[in-house]
A and B are shown apart, each in its own frame.
Chain A
């Protein structure tokens, strides 16, 4: 079974500083990895995904994530944080292509990390 760990419940960063939100995963085979952001009382917005290819993935709103297979990590990063980036961030993994059984499209989410950017 696949799983996702977001070790930090909350991350605080000063506006203008770089930010990192950590994510590690456990899955057999090559994973599909996603980052989503959720604002209060809203659904999830897609930020970026890693399927294959370049380990550094660039996404929406200046965010990027680096896939590290040896460390089974997919940390979300941004060079300069904005106050408007304050939200709840979810990392998710989908079963690899070798798995073709029921639930092939299902996403498994981490518990989420609350990011607070301080003015």
Chain B
């Protein structure tokens, strides 16, 4: 149980294009989903927290107009990197929690490797 999927696993795009990454909880309803960014050999940096049906909460320094997050259902959240640039190249990981209590574990997706040329 508690499986989270991400699609695509890898994406290469040209500078200036937009890329959408999907995060799905496969066997539970995720009230809350998180989006992280991980640079090589570094820890995960939280980008934003999204609750189903409401606007995402972005961490300081994360451009909400560049990283659009939609959490339209209890099993799906999407991250759209708009007008991507090479510096946006990174490993993006989502996580989801059932949200029934604050002791809940976050379950992580396998990550999406974004390369912007």
Contact = CB atoms under 8 A, between A and B. Distances in A.
B18 interface: no
Contact of B107 (A46, A103, A112): A46
Interface stretch (A18-26, A34-42, A79-87): A34-42
A41 B113 contact: yes
A77 B99 CA distance: 29
B43 A94 contact: no
A43 B95 CA distance: 9
Contacts of B102: 32, 94, 97, 104-105
Q: Give the one of A43, A49, A102 with max B CB within 10 A.
A: A43
B43 A105 contact: no
B12 interface: no
A111 B42 CA distance: 6
Nearest to B45: A109
Contacts, number: 59
Nearest to B111: A43
Interface residues of A, number: 24
Q: Main SS of chain A's interface residues? A: loop
The contact size tier of chain B is 20 to 34
A90 B41 CA distance: 12
B78 interface: no
A71 interface: no
A110 B44 CA distance: 8
Contacts of B54: none
A45 B109 CA distance: 9
B43 A90 contact: yes
A45 B108 contact: yes
A33 to B, nearest CB: 11
B57 to A, nearest CB: 6
B75 interface: no
Interface of A: 32, 34, 36, 41-46, 49, 51, 90, 94, 97, 102-107, 109-112
